Structure 1
Amino acid sequence: MNLYGLIGYPLTHSFSKRYFTDKFIREKIKESSYELFELKSLEELPELLKKKHDLRGLNVTIPYKKDVIAYLDDLDDASAERIGAVNTIKIYADGSTKGFNTDYYGFQQSLVEWLDKRGEACASFKALILGNGGAAKAVQVALKDLGMEYQIVSRQHSDDCVSYEGLTQEVIESHRLIINTTPLGTFPNTEECPMIPYQWITRGHYLYDLVYNPAETLFMKKGSEQGAAVMNGLKMLELQAEKAWEIWNTEENLWSI
């Protein structure tokens, strides 16, 4: 049996378990299962790895994406090392572990596909990244690799970030791609959204919400009302999950789009 799973706390709902269970059935992948491992502390991870001899790979979610690095033997230079966060762990036959970040790939690939379909080139955009947490870091590295300028928006102004209050009409108009990396608007808090001046959003804007539940967040709805193109985070999740599967089941991994 090949066992895969998700570590985090709390694990109230899991896209990953549903996705991989469906994948195993759909693709007739035998002798494989996906389980949830709710760890109250990362100190429980070594014992989990020791106990589950058939564990081949893990996904990592909140709140352990950064702290799990200290428990791993190696990091992928192209993703996890640069981002400083891990969402995928490969477990080798000798028990050693290596951390990867497939959020980077999922976001970058989904963005490129979306813009390509609409006849847009990444180089023609400047982006606003709403939020400065773990998810935002993967987005920053992905945009940098695409050659796209970006500005981080956070609750407090700093050398690296503009505050929400600092979002003038000029700033909004000059940044046609706006990415929400915060959890605002996630079910059940569907009445929440990032506090940006939506009145200055135009038909030339693209609003990308990393939230996938609900399918249309208030952030997306407000953008649509202004004529903007909008997308949720489901495609990113699917792509990062497939990249994780590739990592778990191949010897080498190429980070190319």
Structure 2
Amino acid sequence: MNIKGSTNIVGLIGHPVEHSFSPPMHNAAFQSLGMDYAYVAFDVNPNDLSSAIEGARSLNIKGFNVTIPHKIEVMQYLNELDEVAELIGAVNTIDFKNLKGYNTDGIGAIKAIEEVTKVKDRDVIVAGAGGASRAISFYLARFGASSITILNRNVERAQSLADDVLASDLIGDVNADSISEIDNLLGDADILVDTTPLGMDPHIDDEPIATADNMHEDLVVFDAVYNPNETVLLKEAIKAKAKPVYGIKMLLYQGAESFKIWTGRDAPIDVMEKALNEYLGR
């Protein structure tokens, strides 16, 4: 990479950030298109978030990705929010042209799933009720899912998210239940989305939220965990001859959406995916 006085800087803010896969993915994209950009990861302590945003504006940084723990807190320092980011209540991308916040996590998941099946008119189960679940649930509604059932150990938290999605008027059928009910619900589901951290490295041998015994061949199973690539849940899906969707695809597509927000250009998906796989040693 040739860094010059004219190089445009974009990057990631979070705490911690040293294990991020985003720099190799984005820098490979910039290099392949001959763009004078560089992507850098910045570890920003939560106490320094305000000064980090102000400093980035002063330094003419073009854009940020935002990761844990800043996705909600950062909104107060922005001038404008994209409509869906406002609904979700969290931001993972900032465009400094107008200091506007976006959330590309949900669209990243949708594009990953739609490599395998359309979301429109499908009955979807979403496991988990945290930030990723929230982002994906609103986008499932926006893309025409027939119904969404949100499952969580804390059913009140699942119900709160279900109520918020229902209040958006994007969908008319949103329900909440305990994660313990998943085996009874999978038979009628078209898509299962797992946003829980179960199976994430180093806990790769966690018990999956569902097993092959309760899956069917027409089920699409998406796991937002991308390290390891083939989680315990996806292994069960493959055993059941269901259709697996890998979490790395969500990372890829959310990054591609951020790339377009910052540059106005379509991201080279194949280049970014190759860089991700190389970085992960695949």
User: Same fold by TM-score, threshold 0.5 exceeded?
Assistant: yes
Q: Pick from 141, 154, 157: which aligns with 1:156?
A: 154
**SS of aligned partner of 1:213:** coil
User: What CA deviation, in whole Å up to 9, does each residue of 1:16-53 have, x standing for no partner?
Assistant: 111112112222222x2111111111533434532651
Q: Pick from 14, 24, 32: which aligns with 1:18?
A: 24
Matched residue, 1:126: 123
User: What CA deviation, in whole Å up to 9, does each residue of 1:203-229 have, x standing for no partner?
Assistant: 121110111221111110011111111
Matched residue, 1:118: none
Q: Pick from 128, 147, 157: which aligns with 2:144?
A: 147
1: distance between equivalents of 2:76 and 2:207?
34
The structure with higher relative contact order (CA 8 Å, sep 6+) is 2
The unaligned stretches of length 5 or more in structure 1 are 116-120, 252-257
Matched residues, percent identical? Answer: 31
1:76–1:100 Cα contact (<8 Å) kept: yes
Q: How does 1:212-227 map to 2 (within 5 A)?
A: 212-227=226-241
**Structure 1 runs of 4+ with >3 Å offset:** 42-45, 121-124
Matched residue, 1:7: 13
2:125–2:189 Cα contact (<8 Å) kept: yes
CA shift at 1:250, angstroms?
3.4
Summarize the Cα distance change of 1:126–1:47 in structure 2 as closer, same or farther, 3 Å threshold: closer
Summarize the Cα distance change of 1:109–1:42 in structure 2 as closer, same or farther, 3 Å threshold: farther
2: distance between equivalents of 1:28 and 1:140?
36
CA shift at 1:68, angstroms?
1.2
The unaligned stretches of length 5 or more in structure 2 are 1-6, 163-175, 266-282
User: What CA deviation, in whole Å up to 9, does each residue of 1:145-203 have, x standing for no partner?
Assistant: 1221110010122344311222343x110112110112222222211254335421111
CA RMSD of superposed structures (Å):
2.0
TM-score by length of 2: 0.79
2:201–2:227 Cα contact (<8 Å) kept: yes
1: distance between equivalents of 2:207 and 2:39?
33
2: distance between equivalents of 1:111 and 1:225?
19
